[in-house]
Structure 1
Amino acid sequence: MAEIRFDLPDGQQVSLTVTTLLNGGYAGRSQDDVAAHVAELAELGVPAPTTTPCLYPVAPYLATQTDQVPVQHGRTSGEAEWALVIAGPDERDVLLTVACDHTDRELEVHGVAWSKQAGPDVLGRRAWRLVDVADRIDEITLTAWAGDTEIQRGTLAELLPPAFWLDLLRERGLLTPGTVLLSGTIPMHAGVDQFADSWRVELGDPATGDTITCAYQVTRMPDPIG
């Protein structure tokens, strides 16, 4: 199982072993935004979902805080997301951090769940306690860059709120220490090239000026034999 560690604004450090890793999908509050994301994926040959939002369980070892993501080919890319981290049994143990869901776009046309399993979920190394930002959650910004190009920018108001997912986790008996859930993403800017050799995603809190970032290089593995 993956072990991850977060630094909190109060100087505390929290460590946990990931036991359940979940990727939200098609999770925009606005159906127009959801339709835009479906259209983006349709351009890559990905069939539309039968219901929204979606929730894809993936292997817990895919949760990582790496700065290097090895890939097999040139058609993989990330997505700007936030993540809920259930670090303990109490309300103050629910953490909010930044995340980038790196996805194999070639495999995605055969199955979104398969493509999620083929790449890591890269998490930030810092986090906020959700209770400390809950009153201004919609104001928090989410921005992503593919290489040097800004590819996504929005606020958490565009996505289903953490409270929605916490209720769902509770209903399914998954609101337990070790669960990590990624939010799904916001639309990409029109006309941008999402395939790049590096990715960076940032959560920003306008009220405090604080930011949480995850960033990594994309490296090609050697060509296979056979």
Structure 2
Amino acid sequence: MRFTVDDAPVELVPENLVIAGWTGRDEAAIRHHIDELAALGVTPPSATPLFYRVSAALLTTASRIEVVGTATSGEVEPMILQASGQRWLGLGSDHTDRELEAYSVAASKQVCAKPCAPALWQWETVADRLDDLRLESWIEEGGVWVPYQDGTLAAIRPLADLIDGSDLGQLSSGAPAAMMCGTFGAKGGVRPAARFRMRLSDSVLGREITHEYETVALPVIA
């Protein structure tokens, strides 16, 4: 995969991909996300947070992904990439099959591609103020972009704690690894959307990472 860091190209081929779930720092926020997914039939987690291993080949910077059926949607998340002793922060979407999620969260995370932005920030440039970074997402409904998620990383467990809890450092000791670090509740509830737009903002340095993608729904053949 080709990324850019300060406009310089960086070639990375992640060999491990971790999806961190239920990572809210506020217990009430975690409960809200559990409840909104429970409304879709999703079984509550056995513990929080949880770390799901999925195929690294799912990670993509493409602007279009293919999914089965129309019951899928994205979730904006901070994304960590590590390789050869270096670490970067990026932006990703844990795109998930919501119907399959009611049967198995782990399986639902494996069947969808994980879109991410092609731009990364050096970890050292944000490590001391991660909580101030803002995540936003929008979905297209009826031809209009509708605000879907909005919050700062202060709503998510400290990323350093997630790295330790997931053994991400150990995973990447011999090969590049990536982790999506969780999200927060959706305005109006979790729901399918064919187009998804997301942004990570750094107000101190006046910069942002953005990405937009659409889904192509393949027919469900029984």
Q: Is the TM-score greater than 0.5?
A: yes
CA contact (8 A) 1:94 1:129 kept: yes
Distance (Å, rounded) in 1 between the aligned partners of 2:55 and 2:122: 25
CA contact (8 A) 1:200 1:216 kept: yes
Deviation at 1:170, TM superposition (A): 4.5
Q: Name the amino acid aligned to 2:177.
A: T
Distance (Å, rounded) in 2 between the aligned partners of 1:211 and 1:185: 18
Distance (Å, rounded) in 1 between the aligned partners of 2:197 and 2:2: 19
Per the alignment, residue 151 of structure 1 pairs with: 148
CA contact (8 A) 2:69 2:219 kept: no
**How many corresponding residue pairs?**
217
TM-score (norm 2): 0.92
Unaligned runs of 5+ in 2: none
SS of the residue 2:119 aligns to: coil
CA contact (8 A) 2:14 2:56 kept: yes
**Equivalent residue runs for 1:121-140 within 5 Å:** 121-140=114-133
SS of the residue 2:12 aligns to: strand
Deviations 1:105-159 (A, max 9, x none): 0100011000000101111100101111112111100001111111000000100
Aligned with residue 68 of structure 2, among 58, 67, 72: 72
**Equivalent residue runs for 1:31-46 within 5 Å:** 31-46=27-42
Aligned with residue 178 of structure 1, among 172, 176, 186: 176
Deviation at 1:166, TM superposition (A): 2.5
SS of the residue 1:173 aligns to: helix
Distance (Å, rounded) in 1 between the aligned partners of 2:127 and 2:120: 13
Deviation at 1:193, TM superposition (A): 6.4
Deviation at 1:5, TM superposition (A): 1.8
Report sequence identity in percent.
Answer: 33
Distance (Å, rounded) in 1 between the aligned partners of 2:14 and 2:197: 23
Unaligned runs of 5+ in 1: none
Let me know the Cα RMSD of the aligned residues. Answer: 1.6
Distance (Å, rounded) in 1 between the aligned partners of 2:214 and 2:156: 26
**Compared CA separation, residues 58 and 193, structure 1 to 2 (3 A):** closer
Deviation at 1:223, TM superposition (A): 5.1
Q: Which moved more, 1:42-51 or 1:176-185?
A: 176-185
Distance (Å, rounded) in 2 between the aligned partners of 1:208 and 1:146: 27
Per the alignment, residue 62 of structure 1 pairs with: 58
**Compared CA separation, residues 173 and 223, structure 1 to 2 (3 A):** closer
Residue 216 (structure 2) pairs with residue 215 (structure 1): no
Aligned with residue 101 of structure 1, among 94, 98, 106: 94
Q: Which runs of 4+ in 1 moved over 3 A?
A: 169-172
TM-score (norm 1): 0.91
SS of the residue 1:44 aligns to: coil
Distance (Å, rounded) in 1 between the aligned partners of 2:99 and 2:166: 30
Q: Which moved more, 1:46-55 or 1:161-170?
A: 161-170
CA contact (8 A) 1:146 1:198 kept: yes
Distance (Å, rounded) in 2 between the aligned partners of 1:82 and 1:208: 17
Per the alignment, residue 185 of structure 2 pairs with: 187
**Compared CA separation, residues 171 and 44, structure 1 to 2 (3 A):** closer
